[in-house]
Amino acid sequence: MEEGVPHCRICLEPASRNHPLVEPCHCTGTMAFVHRGCLREWRVGFHRTHRNYRECGVCKKPYRWRERRPKSMRFLPFYVVSMCLAVLYFARVHWRCPVLLRAPAFAAQSRYAGCIEQGALGLAILGSSSMSITTIVNWKEDFLVQVALAIGMFMMVGLIFALFFVLDPSRITTPMFVGVVLMVEWLFVVSYSVEDWYH
């Protein structure tokens, strides 16, 4: 380490053409400079909500530079599946399962098998949506952890869907609930796709 030459406070190496030094916080002197890669590797050990991920442990100020988020298309198959199932689902809702105005409420449960098919498709959509959302939100986690989180989310939204399905013979609330989940999934996918930088 040469005297008077700025160096990275983590690896103690000077800047290079491919690895320039940045000043990510309010530290001064020998603590002011760091390689982006070195700081990235140090921060990866903390969750995004952790204090050490957001701010410098020395000066306690938020980092002033932003790191590019690695893109992963792991969510894409689940998103495509949920969108394809959504087309089938809402087609079933429109053509096969009666609403309250077209049939008596209690007759709908016994007379129209399409409602059962609608329920199964709805649960399949919620499963695919849960998987795509959790892979986007928890992008740093291993795939098995993402699956476990998706199962937890699916159990929650699936229970709400089942309650709507059983308690509302008109079957009006279940398509509305599925539509809300699909909209939330779409918003996550769009924000992830257009997001280039994050703190």
Residue with the bigger pLDDT between 84 and 111: it is 84
**End position of a domain, from candidates 65, 84, 99:** 65
- Taking the C-alpha atoms of residue 156 and residue 167, their distance in angstroms, rounded to an integer, is 17
Is the residue at 16 inside a domain? no
Return the structure tokens found at 48. 């995004």
Higher pLDDT, 107 or 38: 38
Check residue 70 and give its pLDDT. 56
Tell how strand 197-198 and strand 67-68 pair up. Answer: antiparallel
The pLDDT of residue 102: 46
User: Phi first, then psi: what are they for 127, rounded to 5°?
Assistant: -65, -45
Residue-wise pLDDT tens digits, 152-190: 999 999 999 999 888 877 668 888 999 999 999 999 998
At 3 the pLDDT is 61
Residue given tokens 């959509």 in the structure block: 125
In the prediction, which pLDDT does 195 show?
A: 61
Is there a domain that residue 42 lies in? Answer: yes
Q: Which domain holds residue 137?
A: 76-198
Task: Give the number of domains in the chain.
Answer: 2
- pLDDT over 70 (residue 104): no
In tens, the pLDDT along 8-39 reads: 888 888 888 778 888 888 888 878 888 888 88
Q: Which of 1-10, 47-56, 98-107 has the lowest mean pLDDT?
A: 98-107
Q: Mean of the pLDDT values across residues 119-123?
A: 88
Which of 86-90, 112-116, 145-149, 181-185 is least confident? Answer: 112-116
pLDDT digits (tens, 9 = 90+) for 43-98: 887 877 788 888 888 888 888 765 555 567 888 999 999 999 999 888 877 776 55
Same domain, 97 and 48: no
| Distance separating alpha carbons of residues 188 and 183, to the nearest angstrom | 9
- CA-to-CA distance for 136 and 151, rounded, in angstroms? 15
Domain presence at residue 114:
yes
CA torsion 91-129-173-115 (nearest 10°) is 50
What span, in angstroms and rounded, lies between the C-alpha atoms of 101 and 103? 6
Same domain as 85, residue 58: no
Q: Which two tokens stand for residue 179?
A: 């539509």
Number of residues that this document lists for the chain: 199
Q: Phi first, then psi: what are they for 20, rounded to 5°?
A: -70, 160
Residue 42 bridge partners (DSSP): none
pLDDT of residue 84: 94
Residue written as token pair 């089942």: 162
pLDDT at 109 over 50: no
